[in-house]
Amino acid sequence: MKNNPVIQTMLDHKSIRKYTNEMPSDEVIKTIVRAGQQAPFASQYYSVLLSRNKERHPYKAPLVFTICVDSHKFELIMARRNWKLLTNDLTLLMFGIQDAALMAENMVIAGRSLGLGSCFLGSALYRAEKIAEEYNLPKRVFPLVQLVMGYPAEDPPPRPRYPLEFTLFEDKYPKLDQDTISKAMQKMDKGYLAQNYYRNLSAKIPLEVDREETFTYDNYSWTEHICRKWGQWNPDPKQLLEQLEKRGFHITQKRTK
Ligand X SMILES: Cc1cc2nc3c(=O)[nH]c(=O)nc-3n(C[C@H](O)[C@H](O)[C@H](O)COP(=O)(O)O)c2cc1C
Give me the residues that bind ligand X (CB under 6 A), please.
13-15, 17, 119-123, 145, 159
By beta carbon distance, the residue nearest ligand X is 122
Of 14 and 73, nearer to ligand X (C-beta) is 14
The DSSP call for residue 81 is T
Between 13 and 72, whose beta carbon lies closer to ligand X?
13
Q: Residue 237 CB, nearest distance to ligand X (Å)?
A: 17
Dist. CA 91–CA 77, nearest whole Å? 19
For ligand X, the closer CB: 29 or 145 = 145
d(CA 148, CA 104): 11
Smallest distance, ligand X to C-beta of residue 212, A: 26
Contact 137, 46 (CB under 8 A): no
Tell me how far, at minimum, the Cβ of 162 lies from ligand X, in Å.
12
Distance of CA 208 to the CA centre of its chain: 25
- Are the C-beta atoms of 13 and 108 separated by less than 8 Å? yes
As a whole number of angstroms, the distance between CA 80 and CA 101 comes to 27
Question: Please, what is the minimum distance in Å from the beta carbon of residue 108 to ligand X?
Answer: 9
Which of 120, 135 has the CB closer to ligand X?
Answer: 120
